Amino acid sequence: MPAVKEIQEKMRARAGELLRDGGVSMALGWKRGEFCHDPEPAFFESEAELDNFVYDGFSSPLLSKYLIETIRKDKQKGEGKGSKFLVFLKPCDSYGLNLLLKEHRVERERVYAVGVGCPGMLDVDKIRAAGVKNMRSFDETETEVTIHASSGDKTLARRDILLEKCLVCKGPEFAVQDEVLAPGLPSFEGGDRFAGVTELESMSPEERFSFWRNELSRCIRCNACRNACPVCSCNKCVFDNPQSGVQAKSNADSFEENMFHIVRAFHVAGRCSDCGECSRVCPQKIPLHLLNRKFIKDINAFYGAFQAGADAEARAPLTNYEFGDVEPGAVVKRGGGA
């Protein structure tokens, strides 16, 4: 089985090939950020630029959403009509791309999707919590990660420092792809992704309220969650639109913190693929995925199991109905999907 570094090289080589003569005018991948643990999404237009290409345990950010702007700009230029864009997808990223395709945000024929196996993405906070300070570089295998830092070298079990989303991995399959590199990496699926929701549901309303008050009051409305979300891709968000009647660029008060997050969760309800990026990117560490997962849990309970982005055809739960659907009163009475 290939080590993560080998996969990176494979990807780099394949991107080079495709840029050279594969009919792809640009590749979307990751490049090294300021630190070793924050690779950032990047566009690669030539083979030469690929020197900076990175794929490792921190290549968590989703890339597909950048296709919207890329294609739009390409169209505006009016040149290069029909050019294709290469995008790299980890298995779970493919759901996000599928949603963008389904909602016509991205045209399928403009995308060349290369799936890559994923060793499980790492959580820098967990590494820090393990006593690592000033991480400089790291070596990784599928099971272990050795970190070189000013606090000394440290080897940690990969499972112990995985991102939350990887502990409840959706599995190694791709919802959409044109080709797959390094398939078959083992995933860490099997966790109960609704455990956090269930725990909250079992609390008293007062406890829940104070939990969320505490969490949401930290929101600084930086919009990082919105920017990271693959389905939060409106041309103009209602919260930015002065004509919407609910415009609010900052939180003037506690209500607006609630409002922003309830409305955002509602707008992506039935469309959220549960990629977990919102929580990961939140600088205030608000567990936003617990809002989205509540909707997912309810949807599964009320209307049957549904995985947004799993296929391009199925109707989203909120654009669908059945005569015998549960009544809102009954939902409230029994305390949601609990």
Partner 1 sequence: MPINAESGEFKPMIVAFCCNWCSYAGADLAGSSRLSYPADVKIIRVPCSCRVNPLFMLRAFQRGADGVIMCGCHPGDCHYTSGNYFARRRMALLFSMLEYLGIEKGRVRVEWVSAAEGQKFAITMNQFAETVAALGECKRLEDLRCQP
Partner 2 sequence: MQRIGVFVCWCGSNIAATVDVDAVAQAVKTEPGVAFSTNYQYMCSEGGQAIIRNAIAEHKLTGIVVCACSPRMHEATFRKTAATAGLNPYMVEIANIREQCSWIHKDREKATVKAIILSRAAVAKLNLDSPLTAGETPVTKRALVIGGGIAGIQTALDIADAGYEVDIVEKTPTIGGKMAMLDKTFPTLDCSACILTPKMVDAAAHEKITLYTYSEVEKVSGFVGNFTVDIRKRARSVDADRCTGCGDCMEKCPSKKSKSEFNQGLSNRSAIYIPFAQAIPNVPVIDREACIKFQTGKCGVCQKICSAKAVDYEQQDEIMTRRYGAIVAATGFKTINLGRFEEFQYAQSPDVITSLEFERLCNAAGPTKGKVMRLSNHETPKTVVFVQCVGSRSTVECGKTYCSKICCMYTAKHAMLLKEKYPETEVYVFYIDVRTPGKGFDEFYRRAAEEYGVRYVKGMVGKVAEENGRLRVQASDLIADKQLVIEADMVVLAAAIEPDPSARNLATLLTASMDTNDFFTEAHPKLRPVESPTAGVYLSGVCQGPKDIPDTVSQAGAAAAKVIGLLAKDKLVGNPCVAGCNEPLCNGCSACELVCPYGAITYEEKTVMDHGVREQRRVASVNEALCQGCGACTVTCPSGAMDLKGFTNLQIMAEVDAICR
Site residues (CB under 8 A) for partner 2?
72, 75-76, 103-105, 233-238, 241, 243-246, 267-268, 315-316, 318-320
Q: How many CA atoms lie within 13 A of 46 on its CB side?
A: 2
200, interface contact from partner 1, partner 2, none, CB < 5-8 Å by kind: partner 1
Residue-wise burial string across 312-333, b where 16 or more C-beta atoms lie within 10 A, e elsewhere:
eeeeebeeeeeeeeeeeeeeee
Query: Residues 6 or more apart from 232 whose CB is under 8 A from it?
Result: 225, 226, 264, 267, 268
Q: Which stretch binds partner 1 (CB under 8 A): 19-27, 54-62, 169-177, 195-203?
A: 195-203
According to DSSP, the residues that pair with 243 across neighbouring strands are none
Residues 6+ apart with CB under 8 A from 42: 28, 29, 30, 31, 52, 53
Contact 268, 317 (CB under 8 A): no
Put the strands of the sheet holding 111-116 in their side by side order: 40-44, 24-31, 84-89, 111-116, 179-181
Select from 25, 258, 284, 300 the one that contacts partner 1 (CB under 8 A): 258
Helix axis angle, 205-216 relative to 254-267, nearest 10°?
Answer: 100
Query: Which of 157, 195, 246, 312 touches partner 1 by CB under 8 A?
Result: 246
Residue number with CB closer to partner 1 (35 or 209) = 209
CB of 292 to partner 1, least distance (A): 10
Q: Side chain identity at 336, as an amino acid letter?
A: G
Nearer to partner 2, 159 or 236 (CB): 236
CB of 101 to partner 1, least distance (A): 24
We find the least distance from the C-beta atom of residue 100 to partner 2, in angstroms, to be 10
Closest Cα partner for 13 from 174, 181, 183? 181
User: DSSP letter string over 133-151?
Assistant: -SEEEEEE-SSEEEEEETT
Interaction of residue 43 with partner 1, rule CB under 8 A? no
* Using rule CB under 8 A, residue 129 touches partner 1: no
Contact between 262 and partner 1 per CB under 8 A? yes
**Would you say 181 or 248 has its CB closer to partner 2?**
248
Among 5, 160, 255, 285, indicate the residue that binds partner 1 (CB under 8 A). 255
Choice between 78 and 329, CB closer to partner 1: 329
Contact partner at residue 20 from partner 1, partner 2, none, CB < 5 to 8 Å by partner kind: none
Among 15, 166, 299, 310, binds partner 1 (CB under 8 A): 299
Among 211, 221, 223, 287, binds partner 1 (CB under 8 A): 211
